[in-house]
Every structure is written in structure tokens, then in C-alpha cells.
Structure 1
Amino acid sequence: MEMFLMMFISFYMFMLGNMIYSSKRKHLLVVLLSLEFMVLSLFFFLMIYLINIDYEFYFLMIFLVFSVCEGALGLSILISMIRTNSNDYFQSFNLLM
């Protein structure tokens, strides 16, 4: 019962992050924060699942490495976008330039 509750909480966190991602898509910073929130909820779910089946946690380390790389790439895109456009609105970002 306890595992089911924790899995439900992680699923709820993922859906909340998904809702924020789809509703607040004008600013790049909010999009990146909601993506990181979804990654944390997936990490929480994987941790609960691996504890439940008595598996090793090496996969979690690989998952964390990839999520850190994703976060660093998102921050570098945000910084370059702010330097060129002086804001983080998607509407002012012209892809044809």
C-alpha cells in the first residue's frame, strides 16, 4: 500500500509538471523548470520501482548524469537566447535568422 502511494505521488508530480509545461510555454525558463520537475518525478518513480524489485541502482546514476547534461544544455540555450534577444520569450526568437 505504501509503494502504491509513493508511485501515485510520483505520477501526480509528473502530470503536474506536464500541465505546467503545456500551459506556461511562453518563457524558456519556466519550460526548463517544468522539464526538470518532470525529470525529478521520473527519478523518484524509478527509485521506488528499483527498490520494489530489489535491483541495483547503477541505472539511477546513469539517469542522473543524462538529466544533468540536459539541464546544462538547457541553461546554455537560455543564456545564449538572453544574450542575443535580451529576454526569454519564444515569440521574439526568430528561427530564420
Structure 2
Amino acid sequence: MSILAGMSFFMYLMGLLSFCLNRKHLLLMLLSLEFVVVSLFLMLYLYLSMYNWEFYFLMIFLTMSVSEGALGLSLLVLLMRTYGNNYMTSFNLLW
């Protein structure tokens, strides 16, 4: 079980590193954010199964992560229609 915990923590750190390095493209930022969410889901699953607790919180977590993903994709579609690309440097978010 400790190998899986170490692997999920490594996945979390690599997702954060990818999020920091890909800050120029919005789509790559959203993909790395979803990778972080998947690694957090794995860590929560390991934690809850270690203590034999119920997995209802995982369903709430998945619901929130799906709504976060849908919000990010709708923001991406809005910015693609407005500016025509997904480069963060071309966005003037303060209008």
C-alpha cells in the first residue's frame, strides 16, 4: 500500500509541476489540473480504504471535480470564441 501512496504523491507533484510549466496554454493547464484531481482521488481512495471507512466522500469529490472540469471547458470554449486561440498571453482578462 505504501508503494501506491508514494506513486500517487509523485503523480500529484508531477501534475503540479506540469501545471506550473504549461502556463502559456489554457488547455494544457486544464489537463494537468485534471491529472492533479485524479491523483488526489487515488490518495483519498487509499486513505479511506486503509481505515475501512465508507466511500461516500469519494462520490462527492468526483461530483465536484466533474463540475470543475465542465466549468474549465466552458471557459475554454468562451475564450476560444472570443480570442481565437488558447494562449494565455493573448487574453486581456481585465477588459
Confirm whether residue 92 of structure 1 aligns to residue 90 of structure 2. yes
The alignment covers a number of residue pairs equal to 95
- State the Cα distance separating 1:95 from its structure 2 match: 1.7
- Residue aligning to 2:16: 18
How far, CA to CA, are the matches of 1:73 and 1:96 in structure 2?
19
Unaligned runs of 5+ in 1: none
AA in 2 matched with 1:14 = Y
Q: Percent identity?
A: 54
Matches within 5 A, 1:69-84: 69-84=67-82
- Residue aligning to 2:32: 34
Could you say what secondary structure the match of 2:17 adopts?
helix
What is the Cα-based RMSD across aligned positions, in Å? Answer: 0.5
Unaligned runs of 5+ in 2: none
Deviations along 1:50-75, one digit per CA (max 9) or x if unpaired, are: 11000000000000000000000000
Q: Taking structure 2 as the reference length, what is the TM-score of the superposition?
A: 0.98
